[in-house]
Each structure stands twice: as C-alpha cells, then as structure tokens.
C-alpha cells in the first residue's frame, strides 16, 4: 500500500502513525499532508527518520499544494479541525470539510488512486432519536441544514454524498468511516472534550466538574482500536458503504466522571454544574454490528484501559 494521508498530524492521524510505528514491518508507505511538517516533527521526534513515512507541506484547500507525484494506491482523507474547529466560523468549517473533500476526490481521480477512505462523523446522523439505543448506518437522518450550529454535521453529510457521486461518475472506490467518541494518549485534555477535561481535573484540579446535568449518553473507543479499525476499513471496507467506528458501550457523562474519579482520584468530589431540568436525554452511541459482522472487527481495549493509557502518556510528557 502506498498511502496519501490528510489529517495525519491530528488525533486520528497520530493514532494511525503510532499503530504503524508499533509494527513497522506492516506499515504502508505513507505520505502525510501537513501545513507545518517541521513543527509536527519537532513536537513528535519519534516520527522523524522513519523510512516508511514522508511529510509533504500542503493544504487541502489549496489543490496546487498537493503532492505532484502519483503512485498512491490509497487515500485516507481525515483533515478537519475537529479539535480546534470551534474557533472557526460555521461557514469556515463547512468550507474546509466540503471543499477539502472535493479537492482530494479530484486529486484521486486525476492520479488514478483507486481506494478512498473518508473520515466522517456520527454527527452526520443529526440528533439520535430517543427510541434508537445505538444508531445504525441505515438511519438516514441528518442535522438541520437551516441551522448554522450544525455546519459540521451537515458538511460531513455533504462530503459523504460527494464520495458517492465520485464513485458513480469515476469508479472511485469510496468508503465512509462515521466516527464517534474516542480517548487515548493523543487526545488533548484541555479543550472541549468532556472525557479529556475529566482526566485533566482528576490529575490536577481539586474536583471533577461536569459542565451540564450529566445526563447525555456517550461511548468511547480507545485510539488503538480506532487505528486498527481505520486500517481495516482502508483496505477491506466495501466500496459505497459507511461503517460506524466507536464503542457501543454507553454511559452517561455523570457516570463517566465518577468512573474516572474512582479510577484516578478516589477522594475527589464530582461537581455536577447544572441540575437535571427534565430534558430528553441526548445520545451519541453507535451500533457497530456491521463492522463486526462484515469485517470481524472488535474492541480490544476497555474504557479503563484507554483512560489509564491516556494518563500514562500525560504523566510521561513534559
């Protein structure tokens, strides 16, 4: 496999690079598109001088900056500012996702790259109905396209549709990974991810704070499982199909905070910021039966495993 990887310096990309770093004999030849490759290697010197890895300076919004050479057999498009996306306006988020995807699809067609894996999101489904415990790929809901708040989810749905159109028009084998919630050594602990905030609080704050009533339901996949699943989807996912990527073991945000407290800081209090106002419980939990039955994928790591690995890395990082 000769792979072009966008988003390779973000959470998803680093999970994949670490997966291949751990087993370099099975690593593909990887070219990572990065706006600031030298900054990435300075922060992560473990990826420097790897014979299977090359970083190319470029931007998905600038087609002229994409690698001029061909020869790629696979393209994994995961570039989107998920971690720092809230800093962008809704229009900027939409443009980055939709235009960036189209540029990479055009590139794949021009360079005759047969396989294309799009990193999409469970957000493409829109709000999860109360009567669906774990949302399947067959559910065809979507976020409200008239609400700018939903720019991210609507853009992901549009990017998926572009993949279907390019497959129909050009014969490109496109596969969609609808990704949910994750935790692992590369998850930032100081941004808008609840589980990262709870781990951060457990390590250094006097209490663990839940900013809300704690009732939303979530599930979390270890980033090591994420990388393994993405690698399988890249090679074996059925063209024209979407696969949920995540854990189907649900728990409430309040339960998550208490589990992290019990695991990392048993004496610390958990503070729920807002009393339950009786709102319908928000769910964001995938059904992963399709990935299990079609591709034999499973979860090798528990939530406890993932949290402990995250903490081990956080303590070892200056």
Model pLDDT for residues 151-187, shown as the tens digit of each residue: 999 999 999 999 999 999 999 999 999 999 999 999 9
Mean pLDDT lowest among 18-27, 116-125, 302-311: 18-27
CATH number of the domain to which 27 belongs:
3.40.50.720
- pLDDT at position 171: 96
Residue 296 within any structural domain of the chain: yes
Predicted confidence at residue 179, as pLDDT, reads 97
Domain annotation covers residue 121 = yes
Q: Is residue 141 part of a domain?
A: yes
Structural domain contains residue 309? no
Under 8 Å CB-to-CB from 10, ≥6 apart: which residues? Answer: 78, 79, 82, 83
- The answer, yes or no, to whether residue 279 has pLDDT greater than 70, is no
> Percent of the chain scored above 70 by pLDDT?
96
246 neighbors 218 (Cβ within 8 angstroms): no
pTM: 0.93
Q: Residue 259 above 80 pLDDT?
A: yes
Average pLDDT, the chain: 93
What is the pLDDT, as a whole number, of residue 83?
A: 57
pLDDT greater than 80 at residue 86: no
Q: Is 262 part of a structural domain of the chain?
A: no
Structure confidence at residue 276 (pLDDT): 60
For residue 28, pLDDT over 70 is answered with yes
Q: What is the pLDDT of residues 100-128, one digit of tens each?
A: 999 999 999 999 999 999 999 999 999 99
Give the domain extent around 27. Answer: 2-184+220-248+285-300
**Interval 211-248: pLDDT, tens:** 888 999 999 999 999 999 999 999 999 999 999 999 99
87 located within any domain? yes
Number of domains in the chain: 1
């Amino acid at each position: 496999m000769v792979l072009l990887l966008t988003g390779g310096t973000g959470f998803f990309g680093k999970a994949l690079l670490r997966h291949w770093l751990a087993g370099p004999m099975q690593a593909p030849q990887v070219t990572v598109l990065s706006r600031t490759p030298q900054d990435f290697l300075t922060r992560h010197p473990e990826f420097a001088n790897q014979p299977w890895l090359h970083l190319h300076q470029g931007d998905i919004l600038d087609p002229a900056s994409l690698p001029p050479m061909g020869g790629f057999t696979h393209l994994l498009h995961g570039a989107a500012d998920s971690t720092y996306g809230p800093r962008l306006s809704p229009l900027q988020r939409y443009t980055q996702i939709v235009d960036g995807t189209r540029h990479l699809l055009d590139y794949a067609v021009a360079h005759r790259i047969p396989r294309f894996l799009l990193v999409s999101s469970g957000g493409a489904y829109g709000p999860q109905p109360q009567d669906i415990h774990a949302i399947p790929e067959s559910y065809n809901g979507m976020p409200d396209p008239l609400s700018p708040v939903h720019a991210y989810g609507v853009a992901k749905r549009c990017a998926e549709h572009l993949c279907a159109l390019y497959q129909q028009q050009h014969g490109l084998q496109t596969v969609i990974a609808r990704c949910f919630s994750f935790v692992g050594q590369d998850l930032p602990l100081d941004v808008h991810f609840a589980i990262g905030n709870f781990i951060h609080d457990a390590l250094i704050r006097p209490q663990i704070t839940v900013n809300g009533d704690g009732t939303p339901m979530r599930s979390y996949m270890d980033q090591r499982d994420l990388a393994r699943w993405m690698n399988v989807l890249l090679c074996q996912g059925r063209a024209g199909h979407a696969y949920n990527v995540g854990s189907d073991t649900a728990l409430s945000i309040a339960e998550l905070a208490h589990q992290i407290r019990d695991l990392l800081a048993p004496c610390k209090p958990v503070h729920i910021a807002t009393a339950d106002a009786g709102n319908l419980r928000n769910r964001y939990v995938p059904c992963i039966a399709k990935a299990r039955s079609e591709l034999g994928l499973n979860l090798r790591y528990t939530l406890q495993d993932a949290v402990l690995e995250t903490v081990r890395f956080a303590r070892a990082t200056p």
